Structure 1
């Protein structure tokens, strides 16, 4: 069997956090309730019900983008709601309501031991991302962490965070050397728009296999713990195909 070419190797792995590497026990919805109350939207009201349905449907999207939609493009209201959301989420994180997805830390460590660069991404603001990392003892676990503001302000489903990860780390020769894993259709759209070779949906978060496949997932895994083996299998298949 010939040696694998560089452009067939996965050098960069971009991982979502909440729902993919981190279990947050429904904290997004709880923090949304706090944000809604801050703007006078009462839980149980028709407005709250409609807004909560949108929040659920857009799991994985940049949170400020979600609030811009909910408040009709009113930037001042969106920013107030987002600030209230991030504050409430941060309090819940600080109270110990986030835990790692089983096997997530070990998966990151395996990927890095294999010589791959790992980047953790989120739709939350930097302060919330840092709070989650600190609560889990994950500061320094990955090679790099990114939030939407680090990539020009646009979060998923845009490809910006994935491409920023490539530009900052230079861990792959092309986008075909990237694997992305996430639990939402927004993660999968972001991955496919970036040109990543692997778009791995995981079933530990917001969206089911049908939604992940419809958004372009190339793989659907039970959890991120399966990702190192899935990447190794992809590389083996690429090497065999190249021999034909």
Structure 2
């Protein structure tokens, strides 16, 4: 296997913690879209949101609410509620910044991806003082479809100048992250246990590795032979 030259990392649940803010923001968005606040429909919607963690939020709302107007209204509410809580509800996964910096110092480029909009992604980065922590930051829209499609990973490859998808490693906390990495053809598609899905779910999705956190992922990547290493 070629040495890893690009690590594509998810944000919420992987490098960033939000203390359940996604589900709280979803509940407000669902109410704004007219979904009953309790009952079978609300319970089914919450289950779907949990199962599809990591996917583009607008796509989740399109599936749940059917019409484009309802989906966009729900998404706008979700993004606003989430953004309003970022300054007090967001923190890095312990060791995330050190792990990212360590990989970059070793010559591995790092891309941060998300299922949120680019505006919300930037708000998260600003709140953590992470404006320059990664080589690339990508969100659905400008860089294609969100997970589980491979677009963000492939765009990270193209924009970083890496010449082979086999030199890419992916880390995420959901089955959607895993499917995205596999569809992109990355050599390492790892799941982390700091977020939404457990080890069995990540393994069933096809994860090549399951790690405790992004810190362990960095150790895994840096333990691979480097270009300058002896053969």
**1:127 aligned to which of 119, 122, 126:** 119
> Are 2:114 and 1:114 equivalent residues in the alignment?
no
Q: Structure 2: where are the runs of 5+ without partners?
A: none
> Are 2:161 and 1:198 equivalent residues in the alignment?
no
Q: Structure 2 vs 1, CA of residues 235 and 215 (structure 1 numbering), >3 Å: closer, same or farther?
A: farther
Aligned length: 229
> Are 2:53 and 1:59 equivalent residues in the alignment?
yes
Q: Structure 1: where are the runs of 5+ without partners?
A: 1-6
What TM-score, normalized by structure 1, do the two folds share? 0.90
> Are 2:86 and 1:68 equivalent residues in the alignment?
no
Which secondary structure state, in structure 2, belongs to the residue aligned with residue 151 of structure 1? coil
CA–CA distance in structure 1, aligned partners of residues 91 and 218 of structure 2: 21
Which secondary structure state, in structure 2, belongs to the residue aligned with residue 150 of structure 1? coil
The 8 Å contact of residues 178 and 190 in structure 2, kept in 1 or not, is answered as yes
**2:41 aligned to which of 41, 47, 62:** 47
Shift of 1:195: 0.4
What TM-score, normalized by structure 2, do the two folds share? 0.95
Q: Which has the larger radius of gyration?
A: 1
| RMSD of Structure 2 on Structure 1 (CA) | 1.5
Which has the higher mean CA deviation after the structures are superposed, 37-46 or 20-29?
A: 37-46
CA–CA distance in structure 2, aligned partners of residues 234 and 113 of structure 1: 15
Which residues of 2 match residues 46-195 of structure 1 at below 5 A?
Answer: 46-72=40-66, 74-94=67-87, 96-152=88-144, 154-170=145-161, 172-195=162-185
> Are 2:201 and 1:208 equivalent residues in the alignment?
no
**1:35 aligned to which of 12, 15, 29:** 29
Which secondary structure state, in structure 2, belongs to the residue aligned with residue 235 of structure 1? coil
Shift of 1:140: 1.1
Shift of 1:162: 0.1
Shift of 1:49: 1.1
The 8 Å contact of residues 43 and 49 in structure 1, kept in 2 or not, is answered as no
